[in-house]
Structure 1
Amino acid sequence: MVYLTEMHKITSLQMIGYGDRTRTQAEVVRLFQEKISGVAADNSRYQKQFRERGHVRQLKKNPPNKLSDDQKLNVMLMLEENPHTPSRQTTSTLNISHSSILRVLTENQVHPYKLVPTNELAEDDFDR
């Protein structure tokens, strides 16, 4: 998949025209391919984005939610009070996402694990 630059997107929007002098989608694609060889542009997505937002720039993704120091402290205190509480149950209690709780645990070098009970070996078990 070829990603178009901002100038390519603007050029394809300019090729559409304005008012009564507009071109069809097929004409714009053909013109764009003639002007910029080897690049196929489906400009309907860029048209919609331009109408909604007024620009064709790529939107930045939101950074992950940053927890305050108090929220991090609450997570660690809850874990210290009851170390056997599952991390998913902690999410519902503190209203913090599961990934954020796991991030706090790894920052503090605490690794969640699932307790798996096993049978203890006795002296005479090795004979069997």
Structure 2
Amino acid sequence: MNTIYAREDHLGADEYIDVVAKSGLNRPIEDRGRIERMLAHANLILTARQDGRLVGVARSLTDFCFCCYLSDLAVDKACQGQGIGKRLIEETRTAAGGAQTTTLLLSAPTAMSFYQGIEMPQADNCFLYRRQK
């Protein structure tokens, strides 16, 4: 199946919620207002579509020259294993400034093997305050 990758600055909440639900990614999809704010304030959204249907999304915050935080990477479970997640990361890195920009993400425990499998470098110098709700 042909997959089309594109930057979509105005991705709708319905499509985002649908692909996140189908991916198994833990996001607050029951809180539409929060999802709308998440999308409105992201400044880099890359999508993967097959026959016009959203099958993958990468949502990031970046300054386009030094740092990019890849907040969400979601691929419909029915489409996993096709290289879509890896390609969305590559597209994100390119759009965020390429080699001059650090791209970082926090992995869900169940996704660690995916990132290791695509040989994404793993950091050991990260600190964070976890979300309280």
TM-score (norm. length: structure 1): 0.24
From the CA coordinates, give the structure whose radius of gyration is larger: 1
**Which structure is higher in helix share?**
1
Higher relative contact order by CA 8 Å / sep ≥ 6: 1 or 2?
Answer: 2
Higher strand share: 2
TM-score, scaled to structure 2? 0.23
